[in-house]
Amino acid sequence: MREWWRDAVIYQIYPRSFQDDNGDGVGDLAGITRRLPHVASLGADCIWLSPIFTSPQKDMGYDVSDYTDIDPLFGTLADFDDLIATAHKLGLKVITDQVLSHTSDQHPWFKQSRLSRDNDKADWYVWADPQPDGSPPTNWHSHFGGPAWEFDPQRGQYYLHNFLAAQPDLNFHNPDVQDAILETAKFWLDRGLDGFRLDTVNYYVHDQQLRSNPPAQAKPQVMATDLYGMQDNIYNKNRPENLDFLERLRALTDQYDDIMMVGEVGDMGTRSIQLMGQYTEGTSRLHMAYSFAMLGPDFSADHFRSCIDGFQQGAPDGQPKWSFSNHDVPRHVTRWGDHAVDEMAMTRLACAMLMSFEGAVGIYNGEELGQTETELTYDELTDPPALRYWPAVKGRDGCRTPMVWEKDAPNAGFSTGTPWLPVKPLQAARAVDTQGSEDSALAFYKTAIAFRKASPALSYGTTTFHALPEPILAFTRTADSETLTCVFNLSKDDHELTVTGDAALTGPHHARLSGGTLMLPGNGFAYLSHDGDITLST
């Protein structure tokens, strides 16, 4: 029997921003539970909850201080149990964000670790002596600016942090650390959770010899907060020992029924696709992986083809998950705006593309409304990199603003209090209650998801690409007795293709087929149904 997750539509909920039911301006579990029918009505199979565990919230929950409790900001364990029960009644699986590479500096483990060099948890984090001149042990960078090392005068040593200094990295070379992490995972699986989204899954293990990274061989990508691109990051992440821990975690999940783990590979370009393949190879590692490969500015047929084909070549038995937006990057309708006829055209084109890709696919809350990036002023920011490096860096707040439910309600129905990030008119205009027409973004998402689910070819068919020049992306997917050819115009200009063979338009489309000519307007797309082979040419 085919596992549920292989072609799943996974809906990401950012808890702070989905629905606030207690009026404190921050979303909560009770609010999520109340709004789950919306997610179910889309046709989604699963929800992914961004961090909800106890945290000082220095990095919006990605700094965990207790792995086995709910942060009071979001509710209680009882609220979590209610959410699980409601989701399951609606036919939705539930996975949570597990941030395992690092903890908060307020976690009891770290508080004890920093006390001395010889206590029970002294080696639970990555500690190292200064170099003779007092400088950090290696040249590794932090993603949030400055070195990846913070000097702690209490121990007289540096500790490693790939992100904020308040997020010290765990030492996965210590088997006691691995055992403790596995116990926290077991806690949630025993509570009925259906799996995990593993944050920064390639960061768990560091080079035990603490070797400095060499300079990047490719053209460096330098941003105000992120100098990672100036190094070839071979020692601070992507270590081969990472796989050993993933196999232990998989062995735990295999003791339960229908559990799925999807890992976030924090890397870009070809390496990210290679890691996705490596991390999902066989049946003893991750069930699925995704990377930032499709979460960047690249928007070309060659880029999408190389991502999908690269994964197929590198991991023929592996399983990908593809997404265009999440809580860390600008929303794709805005990000790819230079290629769009207008925002609605990009909304539909991107949805049609995503629903045609082989593997699981992810939707970020608000994406189904055609939501755009929110423009914020400095005084409205909460994201640490933006607060530190404004205006060179706008940060991630613009994609994290609250979900909009009722256009004319206070804060568009998100909260009766003052929301933690503002709800602005441009975002409120896309509220759920404005999207009742058949030509709305929400209606299109429902139609496209339903078409994907009803189609064996789109659900589990194999993918073969057509060799067509930019800006046309085209591939054929085949399963059972169904064959579909998916064609997408990634530009604002009209394009025509010659179709040789007997084909017919099917499903949602923005194109015309007449006399063997497929006419694609700007951002047009088509699904072609055919029994025999067809060829496409410009």
Tokens of 185: 């995972």
| Active-site option among 199, 207, 368, 482 | 199
Q: What is the DSSP letter of 121?
A: T
Q: Which of 92, 96, 91 is nearest to 70 (CA)?
A: 96
Q: How far apart are CA 228 and CA 203, in angstroms?
A: 13
Q: CB within 8 A of 361, min separation 6: which ones?
A: 8, 9, 10, 321, 322, 323, 354, 355
Q: Which amino acid is at 174?
A: N
User: With contact defined as beta carbons under 8 Å apart, do 100 and 181 qualify?
Assistant: yes
Q: How far apart are CA 353 and CA 361, in angstroms?
A: 10
Q: How far apart are CA 264 and CA 266, in angstroms?
A: 6
Q: In the sheet where 517-520 sits, what is the strand order?
A: 512-514, 517-520, 495-500, 535-537
User: With contact defined as beta carbons under 8 Å apart, do 476 and 404 qualify?
Assistant: no
User: With contact defined as beta carbons under 8 Å apart, do 157 and 210 qualify?
Assistant: no
Q: How far apart are CA 292 and CA 311, in angstroms?
A: 13
Q: Buried b / exposed e across 197-206, counting CB within 10 Å, b at 16+?
A: bbbbbbbbbb
Q: How far apart are CA 463 and CA 451, in angstroms?
A: 17
* Apex 428 CA angle, 349 and 58, nearest 5: 95
Catalytic: 264? yes
Catalytic: 482? no
Query: Which strand (E) or helix (H) includes residue 62?
Result: none
User: With contact defined as beta carbons under 8 Å apart, do 181 and 103 qualify?
Assistant: no
Query: Which strand (E) or helix (H) includes residue 263?
Result: strand 260-265
Q: Which of 371, 369, 304, 297 is nearest to 333 (CA)?
A: 371
Q: How far apart are CA 344 and CA 158, in angstroms?
A: 50
Q: Which amino acid is at 28?
A: D
* Three-class SS state of 482: strand
Tokens of 156: 């007289």
Q: Which of 151, 174, 144 is nearest to 386 (CA)?
A: 144
DSSP sequence for 320-388? BEEES--TTS--HHHHTGGG-SSHHHHHHHHHHHHTTSSSEEEEETTGGGT--PPP--GGG---HHHHH
Sign of the alpha-carbon dihedral angle for 424, 426, 429, 431: negative
| Active-site option among 264, 367, 373, 482 | 264
- Residue 125, strand partner residues: 170
Query: Which residues carry out catalysis?
Result: 199, 264
